Copies of this chain bind each other. A is one copy, B any other.
């Protein structure tokens, strides 16, 4: 029997882009680099953000937006690290959008930060479809999710500026084929930078920090040329 494939299109697009553009202009004015961090639930977004605050504390002032369906668990962890944080709760929602982002920007001290890390809702689909005004999109995939994910969630990979393979410390226990994953990810998006990291052991995070610092530097130079 041939497999029957039913393809169903949905209208998801809204008037989100214009608001996202205005959010970005506002961030640009303050030379704040905004990074939208997306992944499945439990892939390690919060751990990455905590490690980044800690790793860059002498080098960059970091603010955080936490998007969740429910709870302030993640925001509390970030606040304990001393970073300004806004929690956005979206009951029944599955992604942040530019309206929510605008509300978050209204509540953040933009003049006092260099880098805004946005933890999107844990979801490999919807967040990729809604621009927030971010400058960079980062996709986190954890090793236990499997190396076939680029084929199953192509938009998320196609839109990412950086892909972090997290929980690399579990490699000995899992059948994750890194070269196959890299081929699939690069096939969807040749410009994405791929990092192998463990937010638990700290392995590989220095390269990620260097990438962020370079992007913050770019932002500051661009900002200066505006003034």
Q: CB distance B3 to A87 under 8 Å?
A: yes
Where the two chains meet, the residues of A that have a C-beta atom closer than 8 Å to any C-beta of B are 1, 3-10, 12, 40-43, 68-73, 75-76, 79, 84-94, 99-100, 103-104, 107, 121-126, 129, 142-146, 148-149, 151-155, 167, 170, 173-174
Which among B70, B92, B144 is the interface contact of A144 at CB below 8 angstroms?
Answer: B144
Q: In the assembled complex, which residues on chain B have CB atoms less than 8 Å from the CB atom of A8? A: 88-90, 93, 99-100, 103
* Docked complex Cα distance between A8 and B72 (Å): 14
Q: CB distance B89 to A5 under 8 Å?
A: yes
Which among B72, B92, B142, B167 is the interface contact of A12 at CB below 8 angstroms?
Answer: B92
Nearest-neighbour CB distance to chain B for A198, whole angstroms, equals: 12
Q: CB distance A129 to B92 under 8 Å?
A: yes
* Docked complex Cα distance between A126 and B12 (Å): 14
Q: In the assembled complex, which residues on chain B have CB atoms less than 8 Å from the CB atom of A3? A: 72, 75-76, 79, 85-87
* Docked complex Cα distance between A124 and B41 (Å): 7
Nearest-neighbour CB distance to chain B for A59, whole angstroms, equals: 22
